[in-house]
Every structure is written in structure tokens, then in C-alpha cells.
Structure 1
Amino acid sequence: METADESPQLGDTDVDREALAAGGVAIAALANKFGVEVDEQSTVGAPVDGWRVLKSHTGGSILVGAPTNGGRMSWRVAHVQTKTDATIRVDPDVMTLRASRSERRRGLILRWPQMMATGDVTDGFFIDIVNAGDTRWVPDGDGFQVVGVFTEPGVTKFSFGWASSGQQRAVPLEPGDYARVPVTINPTIWAELETGEHDLHAILTGLGLRAERPLRLEVSAEQIARHRSLSPRHSVEPKERRRMLDAQITQTRTTIAAGASLVGIAEAIATAETDNEAAAHIAQLLDCGDAEAQSIYNSPLREFRAGNAQSLEDRITKLVQFRDAL
């Protein structure tokens, strides 16, 4: 069975290679299999046949899709929440099939510049993304975002969280060419980091590429103090940050549940006489807290689009990684 790193992707979602090549059925037949309905309006312009399960996620989330052309490079997809939703809604966007991360990063390596290796740079960290192959490397919707993680010297196993907003776009690289990019450090790390010798690991996030060796460096008290002063959250204790991340995780899960229950939410709001009563109805419907219900009541409808479900699941995964790394 393929690992996630070896699986092709539709957007940023891993899909099963065998499912892409298999035959499909009418979307109505697939809906009948899961015991759900089809939002017919969302299927306008989408393939009638060829629908199959492309990926099953924990928690009852399933990605289904159908190719829009004979070459099977373009797909229409739908995210189905079998435990909370009774309807398949096809995403309006056409998704382009991409090769796996391991295939897309072929030929690339991460190399620390000499000035980093000699300790000549003390304000910020940089690394080179090098095309060490013998053919031109061309990005396929990829970015050049590199995240750095500090560990004790010699430690190679670690977890980390990251956000993809504002990442630098990747550029084509001829053999031997390189792009020098900043290494992003989670600002909260500096609150716990102690002075002394550390290893700095670098990961090219979207492609899952890790520098072959970490950068061994001596972190000074001046560096730590400078970075702590730049962080707006430097005074927040780890316990409080965990509480804040837990609240974000709970809120995101509530948003997923709300997107799967829009009809019920609309009815709950329509029968309420006050804003507080509407929020109370939502809390009862979604079995959530008052704060989460009020947030759902005040949220724009676009947050509950069915196609956002997987990106919200991915957000939860990253938030959990951030929390667990504290």
C-alpha cells in the first residue's frame, strides 16, 4: 500500500492511485451506497458517471470524484461527511491531478549556505533549494516554504505544525540552479528555547523534503531575547497557548458539523425570536458550547461550503500538531 508521500494528489489531498485507474458508477448509485442524497444543483456540468471513492478519512469523511476527460487529469470531486451529512454536494472547481510529493520533489535537495554553516548570519535563517538533478525542475502548484525546527543535538524525530498562507511561489530551476529562501521558525518556539547548542532542521513543507543534515548552531541569550521581543505572544504561557489551540480545534470541528447541517440551522434560526434564542437552538442542534454556537450564528455562509470540509480537517491536523509540540 502506498504511503501518503507516494500518493498522487488532487489539490493538496492525497488520493488512492488504484482508485484513479478503476471504473466508476453514476453519482446516484454512489449516493445510494452511502445512504445519502445528491444535491442535484451542484452536479450541473459535472460527469454523470465515473464516480468512485478516492480517499477515506477517519471520522467518516470520504472524498469521491469523477474524471472530466479521457486522460483522467481533471476531476470533479465531492467531500462526503457520512456521519453528519445526508447529502453529496459536488465542489464547483475542477481539480487537476498532480503527481505524488516524492515524484514532484525529485532532483531537489536542501543545502545550507556556507554563511549559515560558518555562523556568519545571526539574524534569521536561510537555506538553498537546489536542483541537483540533470533535467529542469518545474513546479506543479508547489511553493517554496521552508519550516525550521529546533531539537537537541542528535535528535532526528520531531513533530511540527505550519500554515501555508503567504508562502513563496516555487520557480523553475535548471540543473545546478538554486533558490535561496528564508527558514520560517514558529514564533512561539522562542518562548521555551534555552541557550546553548541546538540542531536546526529544515523541511520544504509542500513537497515533504527534509535537509539531509541539520544545522548545528549555538543559540545565544541575545538571539532568544530579540526573537521573544518580536513575538506578540511571547508572554503567553504554554498552558494558555494550548488552551487557545484547543478552542480553535473545537471551533473548527463545530464549523464542519455546521456545514453538514445547514438546513437544520436555517430552520433553527427561522423559528427563533431573538439572537440569543437562535444561538441556543444552534448549540442544541450541534451539541456545542455557547461560544461556538454564537460564532456559527455570526459566520458568513461561505465558511460552510461543502468543498471546504477537507481543508478544515487539514487545519485541525495542523492545529493539533502545533498544540502537541508545545
Structure 2
Amino acid sequence: MDFTDDSPQLGQADVDRDALAERGVRLADLIAALDATLDHSSALDAPRDGWRVLRRYRTGAVLIGAPVDPGGSVWRVAHVEARGRSVVMVRPEPMPLRASRAVRRRGLELRWPTVMTSAPSMGDFVVDIVNTGPARWESDTDGFYVVGAFTDLGSTDFSFGWVDSSQHKAVPLDPGEYARVAVSINPGTWATMGAGTHDLHAVLVSLGLRTSTPLSVVITTDLISQKQAARSHTSPASRRRMLDQQIEQVHTQVSASHSLDRVVQAVMSAQTDDDAIARISHVLNVDEQGAASVYHSPLQALSPNSGRRDQHLAHLIAARDRVH
């Protein structure tokens, strides 16, 4: 199963469109076929029939689900670890089937406003979310959180940490209307930033919508110093400790990448965000802060062979070594 932002979603998980249309089988039969063990107490109020594999992960883990209603608008799901290692717990909350990100963002564009393209920036960036479609756009639980990432001129390759964009409430937009929102830059960016001209890309996180063209930004040493000073007025020793913490977080991501099945199972069986973090802490034998950093990491950062993560780690170590 190959997924893109054209795939429907259950929660934040992309699922196979064809699998949604299958008849499905009994939960007990599917669990047996996957060589797993069912936690029966978690499935007491779940559908007994109609279960099918909705997604297969590269790790060998799978997401299974069954519709609750005849129209398939609401589902119960469970995560199954790689064969022979999983006790399956059906998630307690029904999950509404969501249209793909491509459908949910239809009609929206991200545009750099004139204030960004015609005047020098002092490091505070905004972008317009514009409804270019013929009808009113309204949110399907998606938020208006936009992140920015700098690249070398001409490069389009970048990544950013996962965040819960629902905290940045979206507003309805009639045709031609726009919402101007701040572009969030990771404060840690300034510790590894070099002076010069860079491209700034913006992404509307929950919808995977990005600016069609980057904003060319001249980054000066004064701006870098200003941003670093605004972030913290602490001593070099304190700044070094903060960089050490970031380095430790990346090392924790590396550890999580080698136990990804167990981390995913911990998250899928959790009742709340705090519960998920506590379970990850137990699985990886790390403190709450480290577990939280894993929980809020993009899957890309947890890949066993993430070159970007290794590059980020090298930047952090170099930045720490420059602190005196």
C-alpha cells in the first residue's frame, strides 16, 4: 500500500481507499491470520465482523479497522505490531473517516503578502491562507498552524517536527477571503543558521499545503544574534546545556527508530496524550521529556535511515562546539 496526501484518513493515519470498500472478515479471524493475540476486553463493544487491513507499514505493523455504521463514516481501529509480537487492543474511541488532505485543502493557497515581498524582514514572517475556490471553505478539525523552513537558494528539501495544529483554530473563508497567520520558525534554527540569502518555505501543517514559491530572505549576523538573544539571555554554559538537551532528544529519536513497532503500539493503545508519553517512556526507558520529543516527532525523524536527522545532529553538535 503506497500512500500520498490523496489517501483518506482515520485520525492522522492515511488508509488504503480500496480496503475501505472491502467486505471484511471477523475480528477473531483477522487477528489469527496476523498471528497476534486480541485483548478481548478492549473489543467488547467493537464490531465483530467487517475487519480488514487498512494500512501496512514498512516495519511489518498494520492498521486494521471495521466500520461502525452502514455508510462507513465511522470506524473502530486497532494497531497490530509485526507478526508474532503483538497483543492487539482495539482503540476505544470511534474514528470518523476523513477526506484526504488534498480534498480538505481544495481551493486554498498559501501566498506571501506584499509586506513580505516588498520590505526587508526583521525575522518575523507572515503568510496569507487564501480561498481561491468558488465556495466557502470550512475546517474539518484542521488548524491554521504554519511552519517555516529555510533552505539554500533553489533547494526544496526540508523537514520539520510534528505539531498539533488544532491548537491554531481555523476560520471559515468565503471565496476571495484570506487569513493572515504567523509563520512559526523553530527557535533552534537560529543556532545553526549561517548568514546569507536563503529561501523560506511555509507549510500549512494539517493540510500539507505549502507555498508555491519560496520567499527570498537575507539573513544577517545581526538578525541571528538578535534572535538568539531574544530566545535566551542565559550564559554560554546554559546555552550549551540547551544544545545538549536537543542533541539528547535526537539520540532518543535514534533509539526510538530501532523500536518503532513498540513505540507505535504504545501510542495506539494509549487513552490520552499523557498516557502515550508515559508508555513511550516505559518502552524506551527514557524520561518524560525524551518520550514527549519522540511522541511529537514526524515519522520521517524516526526512520532507521534518516539522513536529515543525522545532518541535524551534526549541526547541533557543531553549534554546541562553537559556544564558549
Q: Same fold (TM over 0.5)?
A: yes
| SS of match in other structure, 1:150 | strand
Aligned to 2:162: 163
Q: C-alpha separation between the residues in 2 aligned to 1:215 and 1:260?
A: 40
Aligned to 2:251: 246
CA contact (8 A) 1:10 1:96 kept: yes
Which of the two has higher C-alpha Rg? 1
RMSD over aligned Cα, in angstroms? Answer: 3.1
CA contact (8 A) 1:159 1:325 kept: no
Aligned to 1:16: 16
Aligned to 2:57: 57
Mind listing any 5+ residue stretches in structure 1 that lack a counterpart? Answer: 262-290, 304-310
Q: Deviations over 1:30-59 (max 9, x none)?
A: 011012222111112111100000000121
Q: C-alpha separation between the residues in 2 aligned to 1:81 and 1:208?
A: 27
Q: C-alpha separation between the residues in 1 aligned to 2:66 and 2:295?
A: 22
CA contact (8 A) 1:160 1:325 kept: no
CA contact (8 A) 1:251 1:292 kept: no
Given the alignment, which residue of 309, 315, 319 partners 1:323? 309
Aligned to 2:270: none
Give the letter for the 2:103 counterpart. E
| SS of match in other structure, 1:6 | coil
Give the deviation of 1:119 after TM superposition: 2.3
| SS of match in other structure, 1:4 | coil
| SS of match in other structure, 1:212 | coil
Q: C-alpha separation between the residues in 2 aligned to 1:50 and 1:69?
A: 11
Stretch moving more, 179-188 or 24-33: 179-188
Stretch moving more, 197-206 or 126-135: 197-206
Q: C-alpha separation between the residues in 2 aligned to 1:86 and 1:151?
A: 41
Give the deviation of 1:293 after TM superposition: 7.3
TM-score, with normalisation over the residues of structure 2? Answer: 0.78
Q: C-alpha separation between the residues in 2 aligned to 1:18 and 1:189?
A: 41
Give the deviation of 1:184 after TM superposition: 1.1
Give the deviation of 1:236 after TM superposition: 6.5
Q: C-alpha separation between the residues in 2 aligned to 1:250 and 1:126?
A: 36
Mind listing any 5+ residue stretches in structure 2 that lack a counterpart? Answer: 233-237, 267-280, 313-324
Aligned to 1:125: 125
Change (3 A) 1:238 1:159: farther
Q: Trace 1:116-265 onto structure 2 (pairs within 5 A).
A: 116-156=116-156, 158-165=157-164, 167-231=167-231, 235=240, 241-250=246-255, 257=262
Stretch moving more, 11-20 or 215-224: 215-224
Q: C-alpha separation between the residues in 1 aligned to 2:72 and 2:191?
A: 49
| SS of match in other structure, 2:285 | helix
| SS of match in other structure, 1:224 | helix
Give the deviation of 1:190 after TM superposition: 1.1
Q: C-alpha separation between the residues in 2 aligned to 1:111 and 1:212?
A: 8
